[in-house]
Amino acid sequence: MSMRQTSSRAKARDCILVGECVEELRKLPSESVDLVFADPPYNLQLSKQLLRPNDTRVDGVDDSWDQFASFADYDTFSKNWLAECRRILKPNGALWVIGSYHNIFRLGTTLQDLGFWILNDVMWRKTNPMPNFRGRRFTNAHETLIWASKSQAARYTFNYESLKAMNDDLQMRSDWLLPICSGPERLKDDDGRKAHPTQKPEALLNRVLLASTNVGDTVLDPFFGTGTTGAAAKRLGRRWIGIEQDPDYAVAAKARISAVKRLPSSSLETLRSKRAEPRVPFGTLVELGILKPGAAIFDGRKRFRAEVKADGTVALPGMQGSIHRVGAEVQGKSACNGWTFWHFERRGKLRPIDDLRQKAKHQLGLIPEAPLVAAE
């Protein structure tokens, strides 16, 4: 891992680029990263010091990096960095941006204006939010993440099955209950104070990365702070690029990430949905000789017997067509999944022809695993 200050960025990976984000983004090659995660300035517009009822000072975000002269200035800045991120994203890439009510609506508008396609807004509900000390408003107990693909046509990554399994086999919802970053995870400076005012919890990044990237993908974070994105990415076997203008934060991030261990590859295997697997049509099974022309296939109760033809169709007397069409027709239905309806016979037992697809995928080099069913 390195911290770079040169202008050659083509191969930048697993490093922190120290500098102003729009300038640094301009040096990165187009269509080179899979995901952007951005935690930009919130533009909190804190005009006065915020005090608790006992007159102690609330440790809010009053840093100069969070201050903009006007909403128009903030919008211009947002447009500049978001446009650069869009250029750098691969065509099937996606972006997450996190914010609060101060900025998230403005960011949403800019995203849509630039051609991003919003997929979800996710609410990060905090288990331990800061109270509203003056009692004039509701406790501000959540932040919003917008998840958007580069364009409407992008085939973005979503590890649906993994996230569902993570949620005890219920679809993962768009409201995530997670604690704010505290305890030993919170980086401290030499005086024991928070090293960064807005360090995000690693659990949040963990979920974002598991949901929307694969092992080996590259994640870019243009507002790296203390490197939460880099720490989670390294642990999960993803590559990362961070941009941060404050050298002290960059140093803290570098030390933090160096201490992170990548999980072993075997722990990083994700659950794949059948939909995500490469498609192999029935005709390919015939072309590959896995089912030969003239072979017989049956429904599960052997009421129907069809013959496989050289062109990948199947036929019964007076009927010929795809496995799906013929399967539907013999049952008098409008549709049928021929892969599960039709069976082949092996050692006196019927097995769905779907089992043979594994063998075809293996022969085509689409999956590395040995086939579950050996060919006859």
Ligand X SMILES: C[S@@+](CC[C@H](N)C(=O)[O-])C[C@H]1O[C@@H](n2cnc3c(N)ncnc32)[C@H](O)[C@@H]1O
CA distances from 296 to 292, 343, 370 (A): 9, 9, 25
Mask of contacts with ligand X, 157-176, x by CB under 6 A? --------------------
Q: Is 65 in the site for ligand X (CB under 6 A)?
A: yes
Q: Within positions 5 to 64, which residues make up the interface with ligand X, using CB under 6 A?
A: 20-21, 39, 41
Long-range contacts, stretch 337-343, CB < 8 angstroms, 24+ apart: 338/282, 338/314, 339/282, 341/299, 341/300, 342/297, 342/298, 342/299, 342/306, 342/314, 343/297, 343/298, 343/299, 343/300
Comparing every residue's Cβ against ligand X, the nearest one is 225
Mask of contacts with ligand X, 96-125, x by CB under 6 A? ------------------------------
Q: Is 338 in the site for ligand X (CB under 6 A)?
A: no
Q: Is 358 in the site for ligand X (CB under 6 A)?
A: no
Separation of alpha carbons 239 and 33, rounded Å: 9
Q: Which stretch binds ligand X (CB under 6 A): 154-162, 208-216, 224-232, 300-308?
A: 224-232
Q: Which stretch binds ligand X (CB under 6 A): 116-124, 209-217, 222-230, 289-297?
A: 222-230
Q: In what order do the strands lie in the sheet with 319-321?
A: 319-321, 314-316, 305-308, 296-299, 342-346, 349-352
Burial class (CB in 10 A: 0-12, 13-18, 19+), 84: buried
Q: Is 78 in the site for ligand X (CB under 6 A)?
A: no
- Taking the least distance from each CB to ligand X, the nearer of 43 and 149 is 43
Q: Is 218 in the site for ligand X (CB under 6 A)?
A: no
Q: Is 196 in the site for ligand X (CB under 6 A)?
A: yes
CB 94 within 8 A of CB 122: no
- Report the nearest approach of ligand X to the CB of residue 124 (Å): 12
- Taking the least distance from each CB to ligand X, the nearer of 4 and 325 is 4
CA angle (286 as vertex; 282, 288 as ends), nearest 5: 110
Closest CA to 339 of 361, 318, 319: 361
Q: Which stretch binds ligand X (CB under 6 A): 122-130, 148-156, 238-246, 266-274?
A: 238-246
Q: Which residues bind ligand X (CB under 6 A)?
A: 20-21, 39, 41, 65, 196, 198-200, 223, 225-226, 228, 243-246, 249
